[in-house]
Structure 1
Amino acid sequence: MNTRRPAAPGLSVQQVLLCGALIVTLSMGIRHGFGFWLQPIITERGWTRETFSFALAIQNLAWGVAGPIAGMLADRFGAWKVLIGGGLAYALGLVLMAVTSHPLTFTLGAGVLIGVAQSGSTYAVIYGVLGRTVSPEKRSWAFGVAAAAGSFGQFVMIPIETWLISHVGWQGALYLLAGAALMIVPLSLGVRERNVAAFSGAHQSIGQALREAFGYRSFQLLMLGYFVCGFQVVFIGVHLPSYLKDNGLGIEVSTGALMLIGLFNIFGTYAAGSLGQRLPKHLLLSGIYGLRAVAITIFITMPLTPISVYVFAAVIGFLWLSTVPPTNAVVAQIFGAQHLSMLGGFVFLSHQVGSFLGVWLGGKLYDATGSYDVVWWLSIALGVMAMLANLPVKETAIARPQPA
């Protein structure tokens, strides 16, 4: 669509990819281990699983609601400023999560603060910079690299977090992670754009961009698919350790499973980004959602053993965040990069509404039925729905009237 220039003199693609990947590694890596805090926190505080699950559900919802705002600010004033705020809020939320003994303040720290922090330190903000820096024909690949970094963060941080909990206690582990989150602040300077507004083509106001996107059928379908993605991955990420423990499998199996998800997600997200350069992205997305439904069906209907858990973790890991590069690449391909962080934030809001329901219903329905079975089958049905929803998506650039 519009011709893109480098985001700023001296700001190379390699620099943006490196700093952006490290930021996403930290931000996504820390959050992926939150499921390991469920058992020690509810045991010490005397809470139910729903109390903990609700806080993380609010986290995902706050992340989604704040995402479009963080995207607007990043598109307008520069991603690096938003990233600094995100790093500081992340550290504060982790500290509050460690010290509070009341469900309300726990929800404020683990839910609201960390959710807002993630909106300003993950994919939507980083992808906006990449969209303005990388040429259109390489965007899907670059998005895949950034998404793979988030997967690498999960792979690396899961064993670190379990080791910290066992050696310094769950509170001490949160304090150390708060220090790690502060590293986002200096890394944000590596993606500093000197004049964001100068790198857009024909000017389009925020209102015009929103009316255009929300009135476009393909954008609506992408949001529907991303809703399902959020429901599935956050339910599995938070509740899988407890599901395995309920079925007599030890913490080492849960740790190994989440590590395998992170490891295979590295390959899956990179493969999805690379394949998005050559294959229709909407068909790629449809295939990913369909395969997720198949994988979950086989997992919950087969006998549960460590081997079946590891196989499932590897398969679902390959499909875990593989929706991220093609989804964001389609948004950029349709609407251009001027408002990419903002539009990506709105798509991600849909993802986080799904995340809220996935993590909260996991705890709610478990407390009501004593089982996760209903949520597993709901995940399968939603996967089929997302597979069908992505089939009619149009990837071509939207037709806009030329100015007189």
Structure 2
Amino acid sequence: MSTANSKRFALPFSQTTLVIIAGALILSAAMGIRQTFGLFIGPFSFDRGLPVTLIAFAIALHNLVWGFAQPFAGAAADRYGSAPVVAFGATTFAAGLGVAAVAPSGPLLIVGMGLLVGIGVSCTTFGVVLPAVGRIASPEKRSMAMGLVSAGGSAGQVLMIPLVQSIRLSSGIATSLFVLAFLMLLIAPLGIVLDRRASVGMQLQEPPAAPLRKVFAQAIRHRGYRLLTLGFFTCGFQLAFIATHLPEYLTLCHMPVGLGATALALIGLFNMAGSWGCGWLGGRFRQHHVLGWLYLIRSATIGAFFLLPKTSASVVIFAAVMGLTWLGTVPLTSGLVAKVFGTRHLGSLFGVCFLSHQIGSFLGAWLGGLVFDLTGSYSLLWEATVVAGLVAAMLHFPIDDKAVSTPAIRSKPAAA
């Protein structure tokens, strides 16, 4: 294609910037809010008399529902655009928070924080936002663009955790959850901005779309996709366990009150640099190699934190290093899927891969509560996160990242 034609189909910088900003804001709200759920385990247990296992199950369930709903949300965004999917997801997310705010019993908490929040977050996070961003970026800049959106999305974790902690302490659980529900409703219209790409001839960059079932069949046969999907399980397992149970674990270690919230906020702060940095590295080195080293660093950090004495300084260092490796897996994983299979069905293919991540998230959050109730300790889960990270690293290094050809499209018979 000539230079003139290339310019013709390039998105204006201002439009690209708008899509990146909108994606970052949507991720900030959705991811920032769900990262606060660990702050509610103690209050729900003490104020409403709910078992820790049940609260952890509700939080874990939203991860599982998110995972199973993600392929459908991604496919809907691929077909109908991001606007209706984000609007539906933000409204459902807000409804789930509202139900949790007034839940007098465990079953209602499970419906709100588990089922409704899980559906809502599947429509307002990576599987819908990153494919929209990935389609506006050239292949060499795609990993960087996704890293920028993920980094911007981390601002929500930095802002939401102290906000929720402050409102909860001054006004209670219900008020803090209603405030979060209102914030989710504010981002409902931003999906329209993600769809601005539709006015530009982006579809001409790729061959006509093959049937989704053929694309899925091709991906499932691809050894690298299977390894990537299995490895992504570990990311969810590690992050959900830490985000859900770190505040309570630090309380058991007799650390200062509020240090858990500070640690989660620091993870979000350093994740802004980490997500951008991983996106940058993914544009310069082979993405699966960066992923392998990321999992090794994460496992070494978790192991050192668990074994060494706990001090305020060690918690801060742990939070900083974990933040640098926290969500950097997402732009690298989605970028690798786009590199191998293209962007036409990126939402659907990343959604299936992300299901594995969310099964890991479910187990990390729920098993943390279950093991604690059974043993009075989180030790087994800390050890499991280290081992899982080492296994994930070994799965990523041998991935074949060569682009595959699009499945053949059966042509329609000519009209008589």
TM-score of the aligned structures, taking structure 1 as reference length: 0.96
For residues 155 and 229 of structure 1, do their structure 2 counterparts lie closer, same or farther at Cα, with a shift above 3 Å needed?
same
CA displacement at 1:6 relative to structure 2: 5.8
- CA deviation profile, 1:16-43 (whole Å, cap 9, x unmatched): 1011111111111111111111111111
Q: Does 1:248 align with 2:254?
A: yes
Structure 1 position 107 matched with structure 2 position 110: yes
Tell me the secondary structure at the aligned position of residue 260 of structure 1: helix
In 1: Cα distance, 2:323 partner to 2:370 partner: 25
1:278–1:98 CA distance, 2 compared to 1 (3 A): same
The answer to whether the 8 Å contact 2:274/2:327 transfers is yes
Contact 2:341 2:406 in 1 (8 A): no
1:17-32 to structure 2, matched below 5 A, reads 17-32=20-35
Q: Which one of 135, 138, 141 corresponds to residue 138 of structure 2?
A: 135
- The Cα shift of 1:7 comes to 9.4
Question: Which of 39, 55, 58 does residue 55 from structure 1 map onto?
Answer: 58
Q: Distance in 1 between matches of 2:73 and 2:27?
A: 15
Shift of 1:339: 0.3
Mark the CA change 1:6 to 1:69 in structure 2 (over 3 Å): closer, same or farther.
farther
Q: Which residue of 2 aligns with 1:148?
A: 151
* 1:283 positional shift: 0.7
Question: Within 1, Cα distance between the matches of 2:359 and 2:320?
Answer: 26
Matches within 5 A, 1:44-123: 44-123=47-126
Q: CA deviation at 1:401?
A: 6.7
Quick check: 2:28–2:156 contact (8 Å CA) kept in 1?
yes
Q: CA deviation at 1:8?
A: 8.3
In the alignment, what sits opposite 1:284?
Answer: 290
1:4-403 map, 5 Å: 12-193=15-196, 194=198, 199=203, 200-400=206-406
SS in 2 for 1:12: helix
State the AA in 2 paired with 1:63. W
> Normalized against structure 2, the TM-score is what?
0.93
Post-superposition shift, 1:202?
2.5
Q: Distance in 1 between matches of 2:365 and 2:260?
A: 17
Q: Distance in 2 between matches of 1:314 and 1:23?
A: 24
Counterpart Cα distance in 2 of 1:196 and 1:353? 37
Give percent identity, aligned residues only: 39
1:272-299 deviation per Cα after TM superposition (whole angstroms, max 9, x unaligned): 0011111111110000001111001110
Conserved 8 A contact 1:37-1:170 = yes
What is the rounded CA distance, in whole Å, between the counterparts of 2:323 and 2:227 in structure 1? 24
Give the structure with higher Rg (CA): 2
Name the SS for the 1:308 alignment partner. Answer: helix
Note if contact 1:7-1:129 (Cα within 8 Å) is conserved in structure 2: no
Matched residue count = 402
**More off after superposition, 73-82 vs 129-138:** 129-138
SS in 2 for 1:397: coil
Quote the offset at 1:346 in angstroms: 0.8
**What displacement does 1:196 show?**
9.8
When residues 301 and 158 of structure 1 are mapped into structure 2, their CA distance, relative to the original with a 3 A threshold, is: same
SS of 1:191's equivalent?
helix
Q: Could you list the runs of 5+ residues in structure 2 that have no partner in the other structure? A: 1-5, 412-416
The residue identity in structure 2 corresponding to 1:30 is I
